Amino acid sequence: MSETIAVIGGGPAGLEAARGVAELGGTAVLVEKESFLGGTPIRERYAALTPHFQSAEEAMGVLIDGVTSQPTAEVLLEHEVTACEGEAPDFRLTVTGPGGERVIECGSIIVATGFEHFDPGRETQLYGYYEHPDVLALQDLESMLKDHNVVRPSTGLPPERICFVQCVGSRDRHIGNEYCSKVCCGVASKEAIEVRQQLPGCKVFIFYIDMRMYGYWENQIYWPAQEEHHVQYIKGIITEVLKKGDKLLVRGEDTTMGRPMEVAMDMVILSVGMEPSKGTRAMAGILGIEPNKYGFINAANPPLDTVSTSRRGIFACGASLGPADLEDCASSGGAAAMKALAFLRRKPVKVG
Amino acid sequence: MTMTDDRSAFYKNTNVAGFDDVPFEEKERLFGLVKADMRFPDYLYGCYECGICVAACPSARFYDFSPRRIAQAAGREDVELVYQQMQEDVWECSQCFSCVRCPRGNNPGGVITVMREVAVKEGLVSAREALEGYSRIIYKIMSTGTQVSPDMLQPDAFPDWGPEVKDVSDNLDLWRRALPPETHHTTSTGWDVDEKTLLELYLIWFHTGALDMIAEVDEGLHMILQEVMEERLEDAGVEV
Amino acid sequence: MPIPVEALLKKKEHFERGPDDPRSEDFHHELFELEEQGEWIVHRAPEPWVGVTTKYGNIKKIPKAHLWHHKSCGQCGHIPGYSTSIFWVMRKLGYDYNDPRDQTSCTAWNYYASATSNAGAQAAVAMRNFAAAYESGYFPLIHCGTSYGHYKEVREELMKHPELRAQVRDIMGKLGKQMVMPEEIVHYSEWFYAMRHEIAALQTRDMSGIAATVHPACHYYKLVEGDAIYDPDVYRGQRTAIVTGVAEALGAEVRNYSTWFDCCGFGFRHILVQRDFTRSFATLRKIERMKEEADPDVVLTHDTGCVTTLDKSQFAAMAHGKNVGVPVMSEAQFAALAMGAHPYRVCQLHWHSADYRPLLEKMGIDWQAAWAEFQEDLKKLESGERKFSTWDDVG
């Protein structure tokens, strides 16, 4: 029987899943819509990864080599899944690419189409991302950090005061994203440390509702950010950003005093949350698997089975399931590979 | 601890700087009334204590007032704190509803609206004191269907609004007749309201219990209003 | 500038909401469903109407004509040039309307100030007015920002709570009135926005030298925030386009200031009996900031409370040496002036407090001659030659 497993999406989770399938002796076909592998960390030009500060390119490079070095892993770049027919273990997955259409016959499918960053224009609070050049999002700053060129877009000069605003697009009943995006507290703190390293004269502030520093992140990121790098953490989220002169005024509550406060900043970085990517939304429809109410793929048997979907033989991993950090991607990628292959190898149960 | 039916002992003393304390059960009861309001579940979910509401609030800049504390007290069912807030805090809110920016979907201004109504209905002295000086306005809106009529622009009522107030009051009749909209030639109301419309308004006040709420705020005012309304309804042959 | 920054700025130029925003769900479905269930009649927006976009990308119908003017007590009472200008502009554009006597105030001022009312009374007052409009055959146009916000709130409560509908139906029954909910709750400033190009086409005075700051009313865009006008060409769709759209269409220069989202400080009861709060807020947070940062010739807003607060708070503040002294008016009065309206006969600026005369001079209006003309009108009224000024008398 064919042990071909289609992995849709070549980001960290998909790469780990494809490598896992191949290492275990199956055949992986990795379908990626971009012309490169590595997913969002590469496309958005992430600088260093959270929490260990390794270069995104190096880390993804390791994962990519892990796949491309496998003889039983095939990579299809610039290809998108456009149709799916049949039932497990006989799926016929149509993919379309620059050369035209091709049908992949596979026994099971792993969805790893990931997330996209929340668009700050949809935020309930009044941050003016589309009005003020100096209001940016986390991934915008990543790109500047990577180039060692953190400057105010309005002047081209380095900022003297920069602040992060947490929970943008997450944890909000109006927007409908009633979840925490898990990584933004860690990522913002990591970026804060990097700013302090690249611009020692710049004051860095983080305005937050709660500081979500799960597990070892507490001591890997949060404590050093405060203790070594003197990032200022202020409990009290920002609601408005307005222009005053050539600065930005941010407005929040000084919860130590219990009073409204407004302070001037040179740059405001919005810690945007995760939403399902267009690919994730599309796969739910094309593959006929249930999304949850946020549009992420629904893990059908939580909490102990984190990768099975509502359809036999189709699994999901990484941020296509919901907010995920890199460890989640690696873990769920591996779990999906294991389950997708085990599904095919299971002896059929005799009935009667 | 038994609760006496006669609550008036706690509400008679009008000569206070602060407010009278009442038994815990009374505070629970008052909070229970707030919680039981039809709108309350729409107005209060959980609270992040994030401060967005305070940051957006104009009253928080001027008074020692915090919509966050309102939401937190109600959320925690801290009936002592809610009782305190019902005396003073709730009257500091400017009802601008900037606080509905709350990411949890709370409406602290809405919670305050409900708390105020309970304070008024239950005859709290602090409510009466807060609404002192407001009786004229209540009378005008309830009996004429418009508010802040032209003839209320008197220089001794609004000395800080500028010398134009005196000009208006000196020339009121003339200036009103100089307004082209046909409905605006009034001085004791904002515009000319039909008699039938007023009777419909009175019936609304009667049937919804809004008129009765005034009895707790200003007994004299309530009496006058009731008389005026009943008389006009009777004249028109309408039964209440 | 290095490439990444340019790329970032390019990315931030254009905001596209996308199809998956749950807030784009249209409440009208529920309105019509309730109509099918027999809960109420939905008063359809009459043709012709203009479609405008609201915050989450839905279309709102703004009828051009056959409007029932739901007047504002504060406007008609204290700043009657505001409502007069609304009628005047509508007449000039040639659209028919009804100025009813069968209309009560929304009573929200009392409700929010004194809480001597309740959800049932407020809903009944609203529905009584809507029914009266329906009976007249004209479609309600709400003059006051607070009435508008309050009625949007009432609509939500009625949609959500069948027991409230039942209570109001019972009362409407006693009044011999039907349960009617308008298809849209339309604010007059939304009509002005929808008509801004028709208004500009009739413009006779040049506003290009006038700098304005805009104060958007809290109750317009913060209550039921999805039902408010947003325009990708105004503030890139990030702030409500109301008032600004009209000012820009008239050629005025709209300037920014750092307390744009702040409340004016009206506070309902506060402006009448606790004016130190209102005055402090209006002058320190709004007027002073506007003057300091934008130095406008006029402050434009679109709500009764806001005009009153921002205008009347300046006099006493001036005595305390505050940086105030800028005229305040509605965009309706501003549009009327742009269309050649008489500053006193129509815009009734003599009811305002902050000095508007430098503004009129900048607009090329000889206010002394205009005042003399108005005085002539008053003489005629005094002598009995005229009983009232009519629309024919004011030009």
Question: B185-195: per-residue pLDDT in tens?
Answer: 999 999 999 99
Residue B82: band (very low, low, confident or very high) from pLDDT cuts 50, 70, 90: very high
**Residue B159 belongs to what domain range?**
135-235
- B101 and A239: CB-CB below 8 Å? yes
Domain stop point among B130, B147, B172 = B130
pLDDT in tens, C341-393: 999 999 999 999 999 999 999 999 999 999 999 999 999 999 999 999 999 99
Q: Are residues B126 and B22 in the same domain?
A: yes
Residues B169 and B93 in one domain: no
State yes or no: pLDDT of B14 exceeds 70: no
> Does B43 share its domain with B108?
yes
Q: Is C94 inside a domain boundary? A: yes
Q: Which chains touch B (3 or more CB pairs under 8 A)?
A: A, C
For residue B6, being part of any structural domain is answered with no
Alpha helices, DSSP H, located in B8-156: 8-11, 24-36, 40-43, 52-56, 59-62, 67-76, 79-87, 108-121, 125-130, 135-144
pLDDT score recorded for residue C269: 85
**Cα separation, A190 vs C112, whole angstroms:** 47
One domain, residues B163 and B88 = no
Residues C245 and C339 occupy one common structural domain:
yes
For residues B113 and B203, membership in a common domain is answered with no
C363 and C221 share a domain? yes
**Residue B186 within any structural domain of the chain:** yes
Is A172 in CB contact (< 8 Å) with chain B? yes
CA distance B154 to B170: 9
Q: What is the CATH number of the domain that holds B79?
A: 1.10.1060.10
Domain boundary at B72, B105, B130, which? B130
Same domain, C111 and C255: no
ipTM at complex level: 0.94
Domains A4-114+277-345 and A118-273 share a fold: yes
Sign of the alpha-carbon torsion through A66, A67, A68, A69? positive
The type of residue at A233 is Y
Instruction: Verify that C169 and C212 share a domain, yes or no.
Output: no
Does C95 fall in a domain? yes
The whole model's pTM is what? 0.94
Q: Test B101 with A255 for CB contact under 8 angstroms.
A: no
Nearest to A62 by CA among A326, A276, A321, A324: A326
Measured distance CA(C192)–CA(C64) in Å, rounded: 10
Please check whether residue A346 touches C, CB under 8 A. Answer: no
Q: Are residues B96 and B49 in the same domain?
A: yes
> Does residue B7 lie within any of the structural domains?
no
Q: Is C63 exposed, middle or buried (0-12, 13-18, 19+ CB in 10 A)?
A: buried
Residues with Cβ within 8 Å of residue B223, at least 6 apart in sequence: none
Examine the domain organization and report whether B208 and B167 are in the same domain.
Answer: yes
Interface contact A26, partner B, CB < 8 A: no
Domain edge (last residue) among B84, B111, B130:
B130
Residues C355, C242 share a domain:
yes
Pair B116, B179 in one domain: no
Band of residue B10 on the pLDDT scale cut at 50, 70, 90: very low
Are C238 and A129 inside 8 Å of each other by CB?
A: yes
Which of B43, B44, B48, B52 to probe by mutation at the A interface, max A CB count within 10 Å? Answer: B52
Q: Is A256 in CB contact (< 8 Å) with chain B?
A: no
Last residue of a domain, one of C188, C221, C241: C188
Task: Find chain B residues with C-beta within 8 A of C141's C-beta.
Answer: none
Is C229 found in the same domain as C104? no
Beta strands in chain C (DSSP E): 41-43, 49-53, 59-63, 67-70, 97-98, 139-142, 180-182, 186-187, 211-215, 253-255, 298-301, 328-330
| A259 contacts B54? CB cut-off 8 A | yes
The predicted pLDDT at position B6 comes to 44
- How far away is chain A from the Cα of B60, in angstroms, using its nearest Cα? 7
Tell me whether residue C280 is in a domain: yes
**Measured between alpha carbons, how far is C299 from C326 in angstroms, rounded to an integer?**
7
The domain in which residue C123 lies consists of: 27-188
Q: Which two tokens stand for residue A88?
A: 């497990």
The answer to the question of residue B240 being in a domain is no
Of C76, C124, C161, the CB nearest to B184: C76
Identity of the residue numbered A312: R
| CATH number of the domain where residue C151 is located | 1.20.1050.140
Last residue of a domain, one of C188, C216, C236: C188
Instruction: Please state the φ and ψ torsions of residue A346, each to the nearest 5 degrees.
Output: -60, 135
Question: In the prediction, which pLDDT does B134 show?
Answer: 87
- Residue B102's nearest CA partner among C56, C225, A135, C249 is C225
- Is residue C2 scored above 70 in pLDDT? no
A128 vs C contacts (CB less than 8 Å): 238
Give the model's pLDDT for residue A259: 86
Q: Is B21 helix (H, G, I), strand (E, B) or coil?
A: coil
- Confidence category of residue C4, pLDDT binned at 50, 70, 90: confident
- Would an 8 Å CB–CB cutoff place A281 in contact with chain C? yes
pLDDT of residue B20: 76
For residue C222, give the chain A residue with the closest CA. A124
Residues in chain C closer than 8 A to B192 (CB atoms): 101
> Domain tally for chain C?
2
| B116 and B44 assigned to the same domain | yes
Number of domains comprising chain B: 2
For domain A4-114+277-345, give the CATH superfamily.
Answer: FAD/NAD(P)-binding domain (3.50.50.60)
What CATH class has A118-273?
A: alpha beta
Position C19 pLDDT exceeds 90: no
Task: State whether C244 and C149 are in the same domain.
Answer: no
Digit-by-digit pLDDT tens for chain A (352 residues) are: 578 999 999 999 999 999 999 999 999 999 999 999 999 999 999 999 999 999 999 999 999 999 999 999 999 999 999 999 999 999 999 999 999 999 999 999 999 999 999 999 999 999 999 999 999 999 999 999 999 999 999 999 999 999 999 999 999 999 999 999 999 999 999 999 999 999 999 999 999 999 999 999 999 999 999 999 999 999 999 999 999 999 999 999 988 788 899 999 999 999 999 999 999 999 999 999 999 999 999 999 989 999 999 999 999 999 999 999 999 999 999 999 999 999 999 866 555 4
The chain-wide mean pLDDT, for chain B, equals 90
Per-residue pLDDT tens for C282-327? 999 999 999 999 999 999 999 999 999 999 999 999 988 999 999 9
Same domain, B97 and B170: no
**pLDDT (tens digit per residue) in B128-143:** 999 988 888 899 999 9
Interface contact flag, A45 C9, Cβ < 8 Å: no
Mean pLDDT score of chain C: 95
> Is the residue at C18 inside a domain?
no
- pLDDT above 90 for B169: yes
**C184 and C151 assigned to the same domain:** yes
Say if residue B157 is in the same domain as residue B109. no
Chain C CB contacts of A244 under 8 Å are 258, 293
**Domain C-terminal end among C188, C219, C237:** C188
Q: Do strands C328-330 and C298-301 pair parallel, antiparallel, or not at all (unpaired)?
A: parallel
Whether C245 and C174 share a structural domain: no
Q: Are strands A274-276 and A115-117 parallel, antiparallel or unpaired?
A: antiparallel
Domain spans of chain A, in order of start:
4-114+277-345, 118-273
Whether C12 maps to a domain, the answer reads: no
Q: Is residue B79 predicted with pLDDT exceeding 70?
A: yes
- pLDDT tens, position by position, C166-205: 999 999 999 999 999 999 999 999 999 999 999 999 999 9
Beta strands in C49-208 (DSSP E): 49-53, 59-63, 67-70, 97-98, 139-142, 180-182, 186-187
Give residue B4's pLDDT.
42
Nearest residue to B184 (alpha-carbon basis) of A232, C87, A16, A200: C87
Residue B163 lies in a domain: yes
B27 with B118, same domain? yes
pLDDT score for A21: 97
